[in-house]
């Protein structure tokens, strides 16, 4: 039901479920089976995901616990609104990750295997404030993605080259 916030988590009083309940009540919104199914699924593992991969993990149409595609999109937007998820764009599609109870970080993106690797940098936070000051700009957030090739992919492509492979 709940999940582990290991790697660098932050002290949080409420579970995502509880936090979302609060959010709903404060807005006169209602909790439903679909919202419960989604928050359960979304917070049961700490992977990055997009709407499609989330839907793949959910019960199909006709099965118990099915949630329609529009409702998935609507609910993901609510999770972002509630501060539970963070959303960003990658190759033209929306990608989501845990926000609530999870520290600010950025990503390395392997253009070979599409893997996202998280990293934290305090210097970057300083840098963004400094740049903001220099441009009369009130900074509220940022998004940094460093592209390249991860170690695994580099090792895989470095297979011994025979004569036939050349040219």
CB-based burial, 112-151: b 16+ in 10 Å, e otherwise: eeeebeeeeeeeeeeeeeeeeeeeeeeeeeeeeeeeeebe
Rank residues 52 and 129 by Cβ distance to DNA and give the closer one: 52
Structure token digits, residue 5: 């916030």
Report in angstroms how near the CB of residue 140 gets to DNA at its nearest. Answer: 20
In whole angstroms, how close is the CB of 116 to its own copies at the nearest point?
11
Stretch that binds DNA, among 32-40, 114-122, 125-133, 134-142 (CB under 7 A): 32-40
Residue 21 CA to its chain's centroid (Å): 21
Under the binding rule (CB under 7 A), the answer on residue 23 touching DNA is no
CB atoms within 10 A of CB 24: 16
Min CB(85)–its own copies separation in Å: 17
Q: How far is the CB of 163 from DNA (least distance, A)?
A: 30
What token pair was written down for 24? 């709903």
Q: What phi and psi values does residue 145 have, to the nearest 5 degrees?
A: -125, 125
Residues interacting with its own copies, by CB under 8 A? 89, 92, 94, 108, 110-111, 117, 119, 121, 123-124, 127-128, 131-132, 134-151, 154
Are 76 and 85 in contact, with CB atoms under 8 Å apart?
yes
> Is the CB of 36 or the CB of 133 nearer to its own copies?
133
Site residues for DNA per CB under 7 A: 24, 28-35, 50-52, 61, 66-71, 73-75, 77, 92-94
């Amino acid at each position: 039901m709940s999940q582990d916030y290991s790697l660098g988590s932050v002290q949080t009083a409420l579970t995502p479920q509880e936090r979302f309940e609060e959010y709903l009540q404060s807005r006169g919104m209602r909790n439903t089976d679909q919202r419960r199914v989604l928050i359960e699924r979304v917070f049961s593992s700490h992977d990055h995901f997009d709407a499609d991969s989330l839907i793949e993990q959910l019960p199909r149409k006709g099965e118990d616990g099915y949630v329609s595609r529009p409702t998935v999109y609507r609910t993901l937007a609510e999770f972002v609104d509630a501060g539970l998820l963070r959303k960003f764009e990658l190759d033209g599609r929306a990608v989501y990750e845990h926000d609530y109870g999870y520290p600010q970080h950025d990503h390395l993106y392997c253009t070979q295997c599409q893997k996202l690797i998280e990293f934290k940098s305090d210097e970057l936070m300083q840098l963004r404030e400094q740049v903001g000051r220099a441009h009369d700009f009130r900074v509220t957030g940022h998004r940094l993605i460093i592209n390249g090739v991860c170690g695994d992919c580099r090792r895989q492509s470095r297979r011994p080259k025979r004569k036939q492979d050349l040219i």
